[in-house]
Amino acid sequence: MPNVDGQSARNSMDIWPSLPFEAWHDTCATLHMWTQIVGKIRLVLSPPVNHWWHVTFYVTARGLTTSPAPYGQRTFAMDFDFIAHRLLITTSDGGTRTMALAPRSVADFYRELMAILHALDIDVVIRAIPDEAEHPIPFADDHVHAAYDAEYAHRFWRILVQVDRVFKVFRGRFLGKCSPVHFFWGSFDLAVTRFSGRRAPAEPGADAIMREAASHEESSCGFWPGSGAMPAPAFYAYTFPAPAGLEREPIRPRSAFYSPDFSQFLLPHEEVRRADAPDEVLLEFLQSTYEAGATLAHWDRAALERTTAA
């Protein structure tokens, strides 16, 4: 039977595909490095925004985008297309170039992208070594990461589409300062963050990046596609600074838990995709973890939360 939108009803697991980390970790590692190259280009050209919001990507109907970045009197954007498997570079004066997303080394990707930008009269110098990587290899020398499985890259994006959609519903419930739903290429996660409005105490030993990122009290949630430390896709949520007793607070759904190793609440992606109502399960996790932290930290919830429909 068609639904109200005229589309055939689909099982939730078709909409939320599986993403077994062991099957795609090589592609994930390569794509992480490619996004770092593109992200660092945006970083050096974009005016600073608090909490590093000027460096992030956004989910699109085909992949991920930098959104327009300034270059002199022009702007340009770089878009990962996980349907056609191309990187599209467009400029405000009509320039267009593409390059293939296919099995190729990080070094090859880096050289071609820089050459394309030069041909578009965009010359930019970046710190050409990855951040937040356990064993960073300069981009120009990285012939280790060269995998690209188009099927799994496509699945990754399809999950981001669903997460972006649900996170935006959750974001709309908050009246206070809140980040966009955005993708951090350093940590390789999609996130949205709420703020109490109060400054956070400085973390001892924090570097300049972390001092800016964690300058104010926050409640953050996101989606990781998997990494060496967590070899499975998962949703996370945390409150910073973490109020005493947060790890003992009851949260929902039952499959969610507090991880002492990560100092965060976690919910496996598989628990969401296999649920009869994935949106509701994910929203339950986001809402309950936010409430646990905001209540213990004495946020002014009455002033910060939307209590009626917009």
Residues 136 and 160 in one domain: no
This prediction has a pTM of: 0.93
Last residue of a domain, one of 116, 141, 166: 141
For residue range 122-166, list pLDDT tens digits in order: 999 999 999 988 899 999 999 999 999 999 999 999 999 999 999
In a domain, 39, yes or no: yes
Domain range for 111 is 19-141
Residue 8 lies in a domain: no
- Go through 45-69 and write b for each residue having 16 or more CB atoms within 10 A of its CB, e for each that does not: bbeeeebeeebbbbbbebbbbbbbb
Same domain, 82 and 200: no
Which pLDDT score, from 0 to 100, does residue 230 have? 81
Looking at the 3D structure of the chain, how many domains does it have?
A: 2
- Looking at the fold, whether 239 and 281 belong to one and the same domain comes out as yes
**pLDDT by residue (tens digit) across 214-248?**
789 999 999 999 887 788 999 999 999 999 999 99
Q: Give the three-class secondary structure for 3.
A: coil
Helix 150-171 / helix 21-45 crossing angle, nearest 10 deg: 60
Domain boundary among the residues 141, 160, 184 is at 141
162 with 100, same domain: the answer is no
Domain final residue, candidates 109, 141, 173: 141
190: phi then psi, degrees, rounded to nearest 5: -95, 130
Q: Do 177 and 275 form a contact (C-beta atoms < 8 A)? A: no
Query: Is 310 inside any structural domain?
Result: no
Q: Are residues 234 and 108 in the same domain?
A: no
What is the rounded distance in angstroms from the CA atom of residue 146 to the CA atom of residue 148? 7
* Same-domain status, 35 and 58: yes
